[in-house]
Structure 1
Amino acid sequence: MLNLVESITTIPCATALEAQVRELRLINERQPTYNRRSKRQDRAVWLTLTDETFPRLSIVRGAESLRDERGWMGPFASRLEAEEVVLAIYESQAIRQCTLRITTRSQAHGSTCALFDMGRCGAPCTGVQSQDNYAQIVAQTRTLMRIDSAPVLKQLDAKMAAFSAEQRYEEAALIRNRRTALHRAASRGSRIRSLTKVAHLVAGRRTFDGGWEFICVRYGRLTGSAVCAPGFDPEPTIEALVMTAEVLVERDQVLPHSSHEECERILDWLEIAGTQLFDLDGLWTSPVNGSAVPRQSTEGAVAGLLDAQRLR
């Protein structure tokens, strides 16, 4: 690679977070040949409910088609991880698994499948299940995707414990993998959703030499950062940061002004011990059973899940 270098251009950054975010944006913009990570930020895998009379779960690439009112989860490390979450949801929700578009005409000629006989689907494809009844299942699915996945996690815990008690360890491991994927997806989606709804946020923390570093975030995008030297009043630094920060407008999108990687990088910074909130426009909240659940309980199992996927 050194033989290919013609020149080096430096971009001074006020903080380490700003440097990390600028790197993410440059990788996404320039698509460097020898970079693999972060080159396809706009092609991440997500899970959503389709926009039709009888919605179904759909795995998609890119966040452009996602809408909060329909419900979504993610992003996922791979399509395989998303498929594990789909299977986990099917364990508790009788949402249809077929991919056909249901119309009045198709219902007249439809026939029930094995899932209906097993009690795992109400057969809306044949008109056996009404639109209102199916809408209740969709509402429950949307709730677990957006707000509260705890009931599904508890069901998976019980099933995993039952398999283990019967020494059916391979089946228990499959349920564990699905639970891990679901928990992680719910946490990631909830964290991203909470930050992208905040119109303006200023946070800061002490530096190792006694000074301050500050960041300004708007709709999940880093719009500026600044440093205040030790011994100086930080208030003028904050005021200057707010005045010079990038101006953004609200958009009806899941990721209105940034990538999910930038969002999560900012969130990691905000969650470091000692970080203080100095200014906030709006509410920055998370569901109790969304991102507030201990993420550490899932991270330890993620490596095992990815290893299991590679062995398939």
Structure 2
Amino acid sequence: MTSTALQPSFEDLGRPLATTPFVVVDLETTGAGADASITEVGAVRVCGGEVEGEFQTLVNPHAHIPPLVSVLTGITDAMVADAPRVDQVVPPFLEFARGAVLVAHNAGFDVGFLKRACAAQELAWPGFGVVDTVALARGVLTRDEVPNVKLATLARHFRVAEPPNHRALTDARATVEVLHKLLERVGNLGVSTVEDLLEFTRGVSPERRAKRTWAKDVPAEPGVYRFVADLPDRDGTVRRQVLYVGKSVNLRARVGSYFTAAEKRPRMEEMVRIATGVETTVCRTPLEAEVLELRLIAAHAPRYNRRSKFPERQQWIKLTVEPFPRLSLVRRVADDGASYFGPFSRRRTAEQAMLALYEAFPIRQCTGRLSERRLGSRCALGDLGKCLAPCDGSVGRAEYNHVTDAVRDGLTIDVRAVVRAPRARLARLVEQERFEEAERLTARLRTFVRASTRARRIGALAGCAQLVAVRRAEPGWEVHVIRYGRLAAATRARPGESVPGVARDAVAAAEQVERPVPGLPAATIEETERVAAWLETPGVRLIDVDGEWGWPLHGTIAEDDLPRLALGPAASPPST
């Protein structure tokens, strides 16, 4: 589905400014703190540029008015001695403002006092729309026109008939004139409704607001949306390009949020300005939407998506196949008989996991190809006992293979040897109170354990030819067919339908997936992780499993168990 219409319907227009009543309010108080009290309320009700009524009263704060406040406002303790209490003033004010939009200069201050007064009286705040003339002025006027947006400055700029004087009703009257002048300015920017005005004061550009009708015909269903634009290629040919891909459980609400103040990311402002339309695809399940989003991002590499754009940028630790194997960092997994561990999204984390392996096993760290026939001299690591030094003939292939077998087991079957290897060193660091070094060492182990958990989740699904799983999701059941870690089919069994029957139909219609390279799933790593996360959610039931979906008993450990295994049961974890 594509939505590019810009002409709104009548129901999209909102409340016209010309026929909406506004109540412009101003308060005088004993101060600005939370313990300050209201001393005067002034308000003017206007509609269509005409004054419909005014509201003004002093308020007895039942507290001393500070001298500086009295000098500023002219309100003294004697003047408010016989005035009504705030609980006698707020209800009639709320009645005066009924059905209107509140307006104030620095509205957070005035509305905050009114809300606190309502709360103290256990009165429900009516939920007025609130327009702040400070924010409105900042969006309309430039620094060349006014040096600041104080009420007195704006009153002088617009030459209001009754300048503000720090009395509530006078200041409210001045704010009315300022409001009308500002509304004249924003009318030229396409602001014609209260909704437009509220969005304008929140920093939403007219270009974004004008495109809000794109969301009107978008279904309120789970799925994927794409912002697109017709842009020229390098050769000048205009082509439709995908700018941004996202997913949502409610496409209409999510797409609509891009045209309001709810969307605050600066790059999205630019994206919406460039976009010429929105395309949507309804999905049968949220997991299908997640997977489709990933696939579209990988296919189009949209300029405004930051994540998931380059799924091929992964790092793997490889245990090579050669007379004296070694560890190597590679970007791809090949069907070459080698053992691979990963993936890692960053080279830095892969290097940390490799250091954990070097800490546990004396496998060589040099990069040259070794042979039993050509001997050399050992390096410093051999002298330190951190390498078996097969280069100088100290050990043969059979003895060295014991180490490589242990490394392979640590990568694929049992992580405990890696975690326990630095126990003595870690305990010594803790005893010497070298906690920063101890934390770096445990962080390295933590990286290895997390990588092992990730590898087990991916490997378990990658080796399973087919999984058919369902989960109750009102209304009905979600049904997914997963082949070698790839989502091959997604559907939903509606209430009254046979779930096994729907699952059989899904299997019959599912995508045919070829067996991938051993150790790799048939999908991107991120897609397989999303599938694994869904399979691990409570309530998922397996209908069919073709292959084995499981982990080695000690293929990973819980991170909470890491200190106990690394330090021993009686030790305490290092802390910084």
TM band (smaller chain): 0.7 to 0.9
Find the aligned partners of 1:159 and 1:210 in 2 and give their Cα distance.
Answer: 57
Is 1:242 the counterpart of 2:510 in the alignment?
no
Is 1:50 the counterpart of 2:320 in the alignment?
yes
Deviation at 1:22, TM superposition (A): 0.8
Q: 1:96, 1:123 within 8 Å by CA — same for their partners in 2?
A: yes
Deviation at 1:283, TM superposition (A): 1.5
Q: 1:46, 1:75 within 8 Å by CA — same for their partners in 2?
A: yes
Identity %: 39
Structure 1 partner of 2:468: 202
Structure 1 partner of 2:518: 253
Is 1:11 the counterpart of 2:281 in the alignment?
yes
Find the aligned partners of 1:157 and 1:26 in 2 and give their Cα distance.
Answer: 46
Q: 1:47, 1:73 within 8 Å by CA — same for their partners in 2?
A: yes
Which residue of 472, 475, 494 corresponds with 1:229?
A: 494
Q: 1:159, 1:175 within 8 Å by CA — same for their partners in 2?
A: no
Is the radius of gyration larger for structure 1 or structure 2?
Answer: 2
Deviation at 1:65, TM superposition (A): 2.8
Q: 1:199, 1:218 within 8 Å by CA — same for their partners in 2?
A: yes
- Kindly report which structure 2 residues correspond to 1:108-127, keeping only aligned pairs within 5 A, or say none: 108=375, 110-127=376-393
Which residue of 437, 462, 474 corresponds with 1:171?
A: 437
Find the aligned partners of 1:145 and 1:200 in 2 and give their Cα distance.
Answer: 25
Q: 1:48, 1:57 within 8 Å by CA — same for their partners in 2?
A: yes
- Kindly report which structure 2 residues correspond to 1:12-161, keeping only aligned pairs within 5 A, or say none: 12-62=282-332, 64-65=333-334, 69-104=337-372, 107-108=374-375, 110-157=376-423, 159-161=425-427
Which residue of 262, 279, 293 corresponds with 2:527?
A: 262
Find the aligned partners of 2:529 and 2:561 in 1 and give their Cα distance.
Answer: 18
Find the aligned partners of 2:530 and 2:426 in 1 and give their Cα distance.
Answer: 33
Find the aligned partners of 2:287 and 2:422 in 1 and give their Cα distance.
Answer: 38
Where do 5+ consecutive residues of structure 2 fail to align? 1-270, 563-576
Deviation at 1:61, TM superposition (A): 1.7
TM-score (norm 2): 0.49
The amino acid of 1:38's aligned partner reads S
The amino acid of 2:351's aligned partner reads E
The amino acid of 1:94's aligned partner reads P
Cα offsets for 1:124-174 (capped at 9, x unmatched): 122222111111111110110011111221234554333112201121011
SS in 2 for 1:144: helix
Structure 2 partner of 1:280: 545
Find the aligned partners of 1:296 and 1:6 in 2 and give their Cα distance.
Answer: 50
Q: 1:96 to 1:171 in 2, by over 3 A?
A: same
Cα offsets for 1:236-288 (capped at 9, x unmatched): 21111111100122233322421111111100000001111111112212111
SS in 2 for 1:286: coil
The amino acid of 2:508's aligned partner reads M
Find the aligned partners of 1:297 and 1:32 in 2 and give their Cα distance.
Answer: 41
Q: 1:156, 1:179 within 8 Å by CA — same for their partners in 2?
A: no
Is 1:218 the counterpart of 2:483 in the alignment?
yes
Which residue of 449, 453, 459 corresponds with 1:183?
A: 449
Q: 1:66, 1:72 within 8 Å by CA — same for their partners in 2?
A: no
Find the aligned partners of 2:460 and 2:366 in 1 and give their Cα distance.
Answer: 32
SS in 2 for 1:213: strand
Q: 1:92, 1:155 within 8 Å by CA — same for their partners in 2?
A: yes
Cα offsets for 1:8-41 (capped at 9, x unmatched): 2222211110111111111111111122211121
Which residue of 550, 555, 561 corresponds with 1:290?
A: 555
Q: 2:335, 2:517 within 8 Å by CA — same for their partners in 1?
A: no
Where do 5+ consecutive residues of structure 1 fail to align? 299-312
Q: 1:89, 1:152 within 8 Å by CA — same for their partners in 2?
A: yes
Deviation at 1:89, TM superposition (A): 0.7
The amino acid of 1:277's aligned partner reads L
The amino acid of 1:84's aligned partner reads Q
Q: 1:70, 1:142 within 8 Å by CA — same for their partners in 2?
A: no
Larger strand fraction of residues: 2
SS in 2 for 1:35: coil
The amino acid of 1:279's aligned partner reads D
Structure 1 partner of 2:231: none
The amino acid of 1:27's aligned partner reads I
The amino acid of 2:311's aligned partner reads Q
Q: 1:219, 1:257 within 8 Å by CA — same for their partners in 2?
A: yes
The amino acid of 2:432's aligned partner reads E
Q: 1:295 to 1:237 in 2, by over 3 A?
A: farther
CA RMSD of superposed structures (Å): 1.9
Find the aligned partners of 2:343 and 2:428 in 1 and give their Cα distance.
Answer: 30
Instruction: Give the ranges of 4+ consecutive aligned residues of structure 1 lying more than 4 Å apart after TM superposition.
Output: 295-298
Aligned length: 292
The amino acid of 1:240's aligned partner reads D
Find the aligned partners of 2:406 and 2:420 in 1 and give their Cα distance.
Answer: 15
Q: 1:216, 1:245 within 8 Å by CA — same for their partners in 2?
A: yes
Find the aligned partners of 2:380 and 2:280 in 1 and give their Cα distance.
Answer: 62
SS in 1 for 2:291: helix
